[in-house]
């Protein structure tokens, strides 16, 4: 157990083996690695069957990332190494239930690593932790629902309940869930998106009038230039590398913008093509810009400056489609090259070269981005600066060009479409009220960080999570743990054991649900669910594997059970009926959410259907009815003491968020270790820290009232790495204890997980 409490990942870990970082991604090692996981975790038959169904028209949608399947040419094996690991973890054939929890107290479980938790097997039956209990004990479903209902109905206000969602919930589960929550009387619907692409949604909505991306796979294949900014697709969206490879073979140039040289952006060997298996890699990035952490706004400003100076701008597009150009031109003119070079860490001639590439051909430019842009204080302004460049070039809403926020969880985008949002727009509420004859509450609810602060300050709340691992995924681990422990009841609908189950309120429930790979038999027969991927395609997904335990329920049926126990049947909503036949939920979705007309028929089409997207058609749903330039001064995260280091917290190759599949980060050359901090050698030398030396990390944060807060995480191994001077990287979630609860992006409120002021000292002993 750690000195800092039993809610953090334990610190004990053997030192890692450190090798040379790789220079290309996937190929045979990836195939071997995924097969190893599948066979080890699921047994050869269940595993092989799972893989033949993954991303196939009659099978299930990959539960890993939100990257789309090819529209018309799926291969037999339409999955990647990390999708296979996700399936292996979910389709594991071991379960844990009464016996397991009787044999392990909560504090014993908390002393085990996240990796160990995942290895124990699937949650097999509902479990309850009594007040002051040391062990979870089995509970019947009916009793579990009654406990949730009684606690919810005993609250002084519906706003004392918090309903979190992780992005794996299906459209059907998400829609029913938000309906229940709003019926119950609150908009407290925080979700993982608050920590993820919220900044993209906020920026895109302000600039172009829709929070979603505007490109298709065909656009990617026909682009002239693809910028990959703040994203590590080799690990987090491996199937995206196939799209990049096709683009490059069609003549596109890829530009990578990342403080780290990520193997997946350098070169790619397709694991399902002969040339790839033989190890013949296609070079991807023709320019690799190792930007300073949070230097992206400055970089894009520099790019804009060159585009304007060379008069490469699309005057016709700008005149017809945009507003506020003059403000933006003034802001660009006021920015000096010295500022740009200093803040971005990129030389002017490199930015000129970047402009040469971007302005070549028909200027069909696509920018893809993920957490390296969204998890910063100025994330919204940074993303709006990316859009500014696209508007200058007219590179939005035409073939081969556009904006592509690359989503995380497989249905995070769909969940938002279904109304999982603490501040849905008025039209959605109007429609919901109209269809269900209710008065949904209009006051905005808590987002993720607001929810943590509220639970921290006011004891006695009910915290309910539809998936996810709130205790580990959120910032400021100690602060969040106290918040959860303050609740009267914490409830987790989960597939696997995780640390959130071990940070209970006065009472706690674990409600085990079916995974996506498993068959979902309901009163009306086998059900399928639907989801929306990163490019706005809605698709059906049907699990076929036998559920790993007979006690599991689907997410939909759990929500319906709680809805019925808490509210009873209402005039319009008959919970059991909806849970017995998901097409009835889809009929309601069709009635409420635009773009879902003929839902039941269209989702049967192979490849699903695209939701309407105004930006693609150059329809700007903004107050000006134009695409808005945003002319503001440059900003960058600067530590309060310039001798300190800026830390980003990112993912290794062997994890899905807080689920740890293994202890290697193959592309970065790491084996058997996660408690690592990657540092620039000069920052190590300045502190007399040797390679492989254990170090303690302190983070610093100046709160609004001027007090300086310090947080600590101990015993990380220092690894010398090619990251810009003054920057460092450690893994999420081990480093989350260092992320201050008050450090959030402007506008979107996203925790600033990619810029934390830290320093390191040698660990004692």
Give residues in contact with ligand MGD (CB under 6 A). Answer: 64-65, 82, 166-168, 192, 195-196, 229-232, 235-237, 257-260, 262, 291, 293-294, 296, 370-372, 375, 408-409, 466-470, 473, 493-496, 498, 513, 515-516, 555, 648-651, 655-659, 732, 735-736, 739, 753-754
Tokens coding 730: 């450690």
Interacting partner of 166 out of ligand MGD, Mo ion, none (Cβ under 5 to 8 A depending on kind): ligand MGD
Interacting partner of 95 out of ligand MGD, Mo ion, none (Cβ under 5 to 8 A depending on kind): none
C-alpha to C-alpha distances, 746 to 199, 376, 635, 750, nearest whole angstrom: 9, 9, 12, 8
β-bridge mates for residue 762, sequence order: 695
259 binds Mo ion (CB under 5 A): no
Q: Which of residues 42 and 659 has its CB atom nearest to Mo ion in the complex?
A: 659
| Contacts of 623 by beta carbon, 8 Å cutoff, 6+ apart | none
> Smallest distance from the beta carbon of 499 to ligand MGD, in angstroms?
8
Q: Which of residues 194 and 541 has its CB atom nearest to Mo ion in the complex?
A: 194
Tokens coding 539: 């698709």
Contacts with Mo ion in 409-448 (CB under 5 A)?
Answer: none
> Smallest distance from the beta carbon of 620 to ligand MGD, in angstroms?
27
> Smallest distance from the beta carbon of 593 to ligand MGD, in angstroms?
21
> Smallest distance from the beta carbon of 651 to ligand MGD, in angstroms?
3
Tokens coding 555: 């997410």
Pick from 647, 634, 80, 558: which is nearest to 344 by CA?
634
Pick from 366, 346, 119: which is nearest to 220 by CA?
366
Pick from 700, 702, 758: which is nearest to 729 by CA?
758
- State how beta strands 521-522 and 525-526 pair: antiparallel
> Smallest distance from the beta carbon of 231 to Mo ion, in angstroms?
12
> Smallest distance from the beta carbon of 279 to ligand MGD, in angstroms?
22
Q: Which of residues 51 and 196 has its CB atom nearest to Mo ion in the complex?
A: 196
Interacting partner of 452 out of Mo ion, ligand MGD, none (Cβ under 5 to 8 A depending on kind): none
Contacts with Mo ion by CB under 5 A: the residue count is 2
- State how beta strands 708-720 and 676-679 pair: parallel
Using H for helix, E for strand and C for coil, what is the string for 504-549? CCCEEEEEEECCCCECCEECCEECCEEEECCCCEEEEECCCECCCC
d(CA 589, CA 583): 10
Interacting partner of 588 out of ligand MGD, Mo ion, none (Cβ under 5 to 8 A depending on kind): none
* Selected range binding Mo ion among 21-29, 67-75, 406-414, 528-536, rule: CB under 5 A: 406-414
* Residue 71 CA from chain centroid, whole number: 23
Tell me which residue has tokens 């790619």: 268
- Count of alpha carbons within 13 Å of 363, Cβ hemisphere only? 17
Contacts with Mo ion in 184-203 (CB under 5 A)?
Answer: 196
β-bridge mates for residue 162, sequence order: 463
Q: Which of residues 234 and 394 has its CB atom nearest to ligand MGD in the complex?
A: 234
* Selected range binding Mo ion among 42-50, 150-158, 326-334, 404-412, rule: CB under 5 A: 404-412
408 binds Mo ion (CB under 5 A): yes
Interacting partner of 236 out of ligand MGD, Mo ion, none (Cβ under 5 to 8 A depending on kind): ligand MGD
> Smallest distance from the beta carbon of 246 to Mo ion, in angstroms?
25
Closest residue to Mo ion, judged by C-beta, is: 408
Tokens coding 485: 């422990």
Phi, psi angles (nearest 5°) of residue 728: -150, 165
> Smallest distance from the beta carbon of 89 to ligand MGD, in angstroms?
8
Q: Which of residues 186 and 375 has its CB atom nearest to ligand MGD in the complex?
A: 375
d(CA 522, CA 519): 10
Q: Which of residues 321 and 516 has its CB atom nearest to ligand MGD in the complex?
A: 516
Tokens coding 144: 């579990």
> Smallest distance from the beta carbon of 442 to ligand MGD, in angstroms?
27
d(CA 724, CA 682): 10
Q: Which of residues 317 and 661 has its CB atom nearest to ligand MGD in the complex?
A: 661
- The dihedral region occupied by 55, where left means phi > 0, alpha psi between -120 and 50, and beta the remainder, is left
Binding mask 522-561 for Mo ion (x = CB under 5 A): ----------------------------------------
Query: Strand, helix or coil at 371?
Result: helix
Q: Which of residues 324 and 653 has its CB atom nearest to ligand MGD in the complex?
A: 653
Pick from 735, 745, 677, 740: which is nearest to 703 by CA?
740
Interacting partner of 533 out of ligand MGD, Mo ion, none (Cβ under 5 to 8 A depending on kind): none
Interacting partner of 513 out of Mo ion, ligand MGD, none (Cβ under 5 to 8 A depending on kind): ligand MGD
Q: Which of residues 192 and 730 has its CB atom nearest to Mo ion in the complex?
A: 192
Tell me which residue has tokens 């997980």: 753
Query: Strand, helix or coil at 752?
Result: coil
| The length of the chain, given as a count of residues | 765
> Smallest distance from the beta carbon of 174 to ligand MGD, in angstroms?
11
Interacting partner of 486 out of ligand MGD, Mo ion, none (Cβ under 5 to 8 A depending on kind): none
Query: Strand, helix or coil at 328?
Result: helix
Q: Which of residues 117 and 507 has its CB atom nearest to ligand MGD in the complex?
A: 117
Interacting partner of 659 out of ligand MGD, Mo ion, none (Cβ under 5 to 8 A depending on kind): ligand MGD
> Smallest distance from the beta carbon of 353 to ligand MGD, in angstroms?
17
Q: Which of residues 395 and 502 has its CB atom nearest to ligand MGD in the complex?
A: 502
> Smallest distance from the beta carbon of 409 to ligand MGD, in angstroms?
5
* CB-based burial label for 422 (10 Å; 0-12, 13-18, 19+): buried
497 close to 503: Cβ distance less than 8 angstroms: no
Q: Which of residues 222 and 530 has its CB atom nearest to ligand MGD in the complex?
A: 530
> Smallest distance from the beta carbon of 496 to ligand MGD, in angstroms?
4
> Smallest distance from the beta carbon of 574 to ligand MGD, in angstroms?
23
Q: Which of residues 404 and 473 has its CB atom nearest to ligand MGD in the complex?
A: 473
Q: E strands, 225-371, where?
A: 225-229, 253-257, 267-268, 282-283, 285-289, 322-323, 365-369
Interacting partner of 440 out of ligand MGD, Mo ion, none (Cβ under 5 to 8 A depending on kind): none
C-alpha to C-alpha distances, 232 to 17, 92, 359, 437, nearest whole angstrom: 22, 27, 25, 46
DSSP-derived secondary structure letter, 15:
P
Tokens coding 128: 């309850």
* Selected range binding Mo ion among 263-271, 405-413, 478-486, 701-709, rule: CB under 5 A: 405-413
Name the site residues for Mo ion (rule: CB under 5 A).
196, 408
């Amino acid at each position: 157990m750690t000195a800092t409490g039993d809610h953090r990942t334990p610190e004990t870990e053997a030192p890692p083996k450190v090798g040379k970082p790789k220079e290309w991604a996937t190929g045979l090692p990836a195939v071997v690695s995924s097969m190893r996981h599948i066979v080890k975790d699921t047994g050869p038959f269940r595993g092989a069957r799972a893989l033949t169904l993954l991303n196939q028209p009659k099978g299930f949608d990959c539960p890993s990332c939100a990257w789309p399947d090819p529209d018309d040419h799926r291969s037999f094996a339409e999955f990647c190494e990390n999708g296979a690991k996700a399936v292996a973890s979910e389709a594991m054939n071991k379960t844990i239930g009464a016996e397991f929890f009787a044999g392990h107290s909560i504090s014993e479980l908390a002393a085990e690593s996240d990796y160990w938790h995942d290895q124990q097997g699937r949650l097999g039956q509902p479990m309850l932790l009594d007040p002051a209990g040391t062990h979870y004990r089995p509970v019947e479903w009916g009793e579990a629902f009654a406990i949730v209902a009684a606690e919810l109905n005993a609250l002084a206000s519906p706003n004392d309940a918090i309903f979190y969602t992780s992005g794996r919930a299906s459209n059907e589960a998400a829609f029913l869930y938000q309906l229940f929550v709003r019926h119950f009387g609150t908009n407290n619907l925080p979700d993982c998106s608050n920590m993820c692409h919220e900044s993209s949604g906020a920026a895109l909505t302000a600039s172009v009038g829709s929070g979603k991306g505007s490109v298709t796979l065909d656009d990617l294949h026909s682009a002239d230039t693809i910028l990959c900014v703040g994203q590590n697709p080799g690990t987090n969206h491996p199937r995206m590398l196939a799209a990049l490879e096709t683009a490059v073979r069609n003549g596109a140039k890829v530009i990578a913008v990342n403080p780290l040289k990520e193997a997946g952006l350098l070169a790619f060997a397709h694991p399902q093509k002969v040339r790839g298996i033989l190890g013949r890699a296609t070079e991807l990035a023709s320019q690799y810009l190792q930007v300073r952490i949070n230097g992206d706004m400055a970089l894009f400003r520099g790019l804009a400056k060159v585009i304007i100076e060379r008069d490469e701008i699309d005057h016709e597009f700008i005149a017809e489609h945009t507003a506020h150009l003059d403000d933006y031109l003034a802001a660009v003119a006021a920015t000096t090259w010295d500022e740009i070079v200093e803040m971005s860490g990129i030389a002017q001639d490199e930015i000129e070269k970047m402009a040469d590439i971007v302005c070549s051909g028909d200027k069909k430019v696509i920018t893809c981005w993920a957490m390296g842009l969204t998890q910063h204080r100025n994330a919204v302004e940074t993303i709006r600066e990316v859009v500014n460049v696209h508007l200058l070039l007219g590179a939005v809403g035409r073939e081969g060009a556009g904006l592509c926020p690359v989503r995380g969880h497989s249905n995070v985008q769909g969940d938002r479409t279904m109304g999982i949002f603490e501040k849905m727009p008025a039209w959605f509420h109007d429609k919901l009220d109209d269809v269900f004859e209710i008065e949904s509450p209009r006051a905005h609810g808590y987002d993720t960080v607001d929810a943590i602060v509220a639970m921290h300050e006011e004891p006695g709340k009910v915290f309910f999570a539809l998936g996810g691992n709130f205790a580990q995924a959120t910032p400021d681990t100690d602060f969040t743990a106290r918040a959860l422990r303050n609740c009267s009841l914490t409830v987790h609908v989960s597939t696997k054991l995780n640390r959130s189950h071990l940070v209970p309120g006065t009472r706690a429930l674990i409600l085990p649900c079916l995974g996506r790979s498993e068959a979902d038999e309901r009163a009306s027969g086998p059900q399928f669910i639907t989801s929306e991927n990163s490019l706005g395609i809605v698709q059906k997904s049907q699990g076929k594997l036998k559920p790993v335990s007979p006690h599991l329920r689907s997410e939909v049926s759990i929500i319906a059970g709680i809805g019925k126990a808490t509210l009873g049947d209402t005039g319009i909503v008959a919970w059991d009926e909806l849970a017995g036949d998901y097409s009835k939920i889809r009929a309601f979705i069709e009635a409420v959410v635009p773009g879902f007309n003929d839902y039941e028929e269209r989702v049967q089409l192979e490849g699903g259907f695209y939701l309407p997207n105004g930006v693609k058609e150059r329809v700007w749903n903004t107050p000006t009815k134009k695409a808005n330039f945003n002319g503001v001064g440059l900003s960058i995260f600067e530590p309060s003491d310039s001798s300190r280091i800026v830390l980003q917290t990112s993912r290794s190759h062997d994890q899905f968020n807080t689920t740890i599949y293994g202890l290697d980060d193959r592309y970065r050359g790491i084996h058997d270790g996660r408690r690592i901090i990657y540092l620039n050698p000069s920052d190590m030398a300045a502190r007399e820290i040797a390679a492989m030396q254990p170090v303690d990390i302190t983070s610093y944060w100046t709160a609004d009232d001027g007090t300086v807060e310090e947080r600590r995480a101990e015993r990380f191994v220092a690894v010398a790495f090619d990251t810009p001077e003054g920057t460092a990287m450690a893994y999420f979630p081990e480093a989350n204890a260092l992320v201050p609860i008050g450090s959030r992006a402007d506008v979107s409120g996203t925790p600033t997980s990619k810029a934390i002021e830290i320093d390191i000292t040698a660990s004692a002993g």
